[in-house]
A and B are shown apart, each in its own frame.
Chain A
């Protein structure tokens, strides 16, 4: 029960933070400028929603399904990192907030998402099984 509640809450918080990172915490360049960071923002909002929804959903399922959800979230965490770094990217100048603040924040949130989901799936599949 403890694991169920805590993991659901952590995933929902991480999802919300991924949505807030390019919109509220370190907003990317204005929408009228049609820059790469704009598309990164849109993609990350989608990813954030997905992680939050999976987090909320995992509350209602058994341990094995939760482990599966965690593995999926780990993959989505990798996407969180790949979008601002390689898949879409951000603006080139490191004087811009999307480059020096939004991107590192998304990378950190992605790393945390992967870390939490991998540890959780290992815990559910190995330790709990034993």
Chain B
């Protein structure tokens, strides 16, 4: 009975309450969108961090930019050099582990409607891919076996078909939000077979891709205490051909710093939006409380206790906050979440779909902030009620 009276009273004061609901709507919409942005930024970074386990990456000369975009965005480009590069650095001091990778430019394969990046790696020396593969992997890596990115469609019998041949999938990697998700990883000895199959399907290859001793990059893990620039200098000295050196860890840490700056700006924007919304709410509740002095006094004279009046004000603020949150939550559910991936792709940052608990917490956070904001604003009318002198309030209005 009481509550239906309350809802009616809130609905009756449309001119006052609709702007307040709209304000909470904007607040919760911005909170949900902002939190999702910060979460996605962090998740994308975590995904990349896991995948860049090397201190030094050697690539053919003048391929620095392509290789960098390969590391950060997972783009697959042609670049090759001789396997001798990897052999000649074995004696360079400071090196702990060396592994090689071979990239085949993105190709459309049977399994996918989009292009697939094919990566050849050596499971015996590898320290880049294996750490992502959990213990749940189905068997050991070998010829005719593959590890695939999260976007690659795997058949029901746990295989993928590439250029007419089936490869059994031993593991499906977690989503990174980059084109690493559309990559498939094979052992080096599967690569010539892949090239031959692709050629038989009419795909043309450069001679450099077909030679057996070609690789695309060498990844190096340093011993503890080794200085990367010293090792890099020794590597370049040991080479007969020109090579470029990249520092994946250093690139990542500068990327992480940038992401950190963007996240702090996002936090600041969220705080400012909340502050502005809270101030407007406080002013609105203050004005409304001043105007409702007579109403409060009348209700008091009619026998409503102060506690009852306070609880009504609190419920009213709660109703407005929850209504605003529902509208804001609905708007963000039909805009921010469905188009997050599209926006992230347009803004060139990794989008890892938030999990159900993460989404739940984002909405819960927005709901709590909306309610707390409403409650803080309702403190003003509550304060007025406690200081209310019914007699003079009723006289004043006469």
Binding site for B on A (CB under 8 A): 26, 35-36, 91-97, 100-101, 104-105, 107-108, 111-112
Contacts and interface: CB of A to CB of B under 8 A. Distances in A.
B351 to A, nearest CB: 8
B334 interface: yes
A108 B330 CA distance: 11
A95 B117 CA distance: 13
B65 interface: no
Nearest to A92: B113
Given A94-B345, A104-B339, 11 more contacts: A36-B113, A91-B114, A92-B114, A94-B181, A94-B341, A95-B114, A95-B345, A104-B338, A105-B339, A107-B338, A108-B338
Contacts of B341: 94, 100, 104
Contacts, number: 45
A96 B345 CA distance: 9
Interface of B: 112-115, 151, 153, 179, 181-182, 334-335, 338-339, 341-342, 345
B342 A92 contact: no
B334 A112 contact: yes
B113 A94 contact: no
Contact of A93 (B112, B339, B342): B112
B201 to A, nearest CB: 17
B113 A93 contact: yes
B112 A104 contact: no
B84 to A, nearest CB: 36
Nearest to A103: B338
A112 B182 CA distance: 32
A123 B225 CA distance: 74
Contacts of A100: 339, 341-342, 345
